[in-house]
Structure 1
């Protein structure tokens, strides 16, 4: 397991390379390892790893607790449809999704996300992204993740954007109002 964690940390560092002059400072390898260790202890933790000759991608996360505690730090009122999916145990929090570019498999990230959501019978995926990480925010938004607002951890200085991924036509229809809100996709805009 230790070798696998090291491979995942390598993929994390490789995927976090930023352009020169980019204001976003990527989190450290150690921060990633600490977060992975913490997330692995959460009830229902799951990970999908895609391998060819090396680790090509991975997605991991855990079911959002039905008591709503995962949303503590959300700035404003959580949309009712998301609150209902959380209470019903149908929301899944992605800790991270990283994929190496590969010309033969452009949908690896999407398939990894869908597999975790299907395995957990989730109707909604959710993730937090540092609002300064413009590259990741743009990538997720372009792949159909609506941005629903701001999240602040009580003990940390980082402000996050909350992005969600509705699964299936019924869920997408219930969340349609989130996608069409003015300002780029949700309360508070981008």
Structure 2
């Protein structure tokens, strides 16, 4: 895949060249045990907003590798699908500004000490009066609206993982997607995870179900079949 480095929406400073290298101040992942699942050797850690800005081009490359086409976006617009990547960056930039935003990355450390970005997940708390419910008005179960009113929901806006994570060992605790979503919700005791998936994206929908997501207990086909996106809950 040819390198693609679109402009940064949040900064004019240049991106660092080459892979991210481990600094002396950063902790290193635990050595992989012989015969351990490959996901256990990947180090999961949060990024600050400044680090997200600095590593935006890496997140963009990850998106290009892991997402066939984002919901509501054309498969090809302009040279190399440039508009698609720009739309991803804009969505991420919008989400970063939300109160309580959190982003985790998974990195594999090579023999030289360079870290390769292998996965990402991010989200934020959801409030009943917020805009996150856009396009779902009239299709939401009342129980989730009540939970949102008391700050009991955390939206996982996206999980970017390689195809092998979507299709292999989805039910294992060490599956990388499961590790990321568990870590995001782990610091929010008692909250429910919620996510949206485009109704036409059956691959992603099946992967989310395999990772433990379920339709809300009060959601029915009659009330949700016209919504452009499905809403899933992780308890």
Indicate whether the TM-score tops 0.5. Answer: yes
Larger radius of gyration: 2
Range 132-141 or range 2-11, more displaced: 2-11
* Partner in structure 1 of residue 231 of structure 2: 162
SS of aligned partner of 1:163: strand
Q: 1:146 to 1:52 in 2, by over 3 A?
A: same
- Runs of 4+ residues over 4 Å off in structure 1: 102-106
Matched, 1:127 2:195: yes
Partner of 1:141: 209
SS in 1 for 2:93: helix
CA 1:150–1:59: 2 relative to 1, 3 Å = farther
Residues 1:14 and 2:65 are matched in the alignment = yes
The offset of 1:162, in angstroms, is: 1.4
TM value normalised by structure 2:
0.57
In the superposition, relative to structure 1, how do residues 39 and 68 fare at CA in structure 2: closer, same or farther (>3 Å)?
closer
User: How far apart, CA to CA, are the structure 1 residues paired with 2:175 and 2:195?
Assistant: 19
RMSD of Structure 2 on Structure 1 (CA) = 2.8
Give a deviation string over 1:63-114, Cα, whole Å, max 9, x none.
0024354324325353233122211211011121012346899511111111
Residues 8-45 of structure 1: CA deviation (Å, up to 9, x unaligned): 11111111137xxxxx9488111110000000011110
* 2:122 maps to which of 60, 63, 69: 60
**Where do 5+ consecutive residues of structure 2 fail to align?**
1-50, 77-82, 110-115
1:134-164 alpha-carbon deviations (Å, 9 max, x no partner) = 1101111222212343685xxxxxx212122
C-alpha separation in 1, matches of 2:56 and 2:184: 19
- CA–CA distance in structure 1, aligned partners of residues 204 and 95 of structure 2: 20
- Which sections of structure 1, spanning at least 5 residues, go unmatched? 19-23, 153-158, 167-190
For 2:128 and 2:149, locate their aligned partners in 1 and report how far apart those are by CA, in whole Å.
4
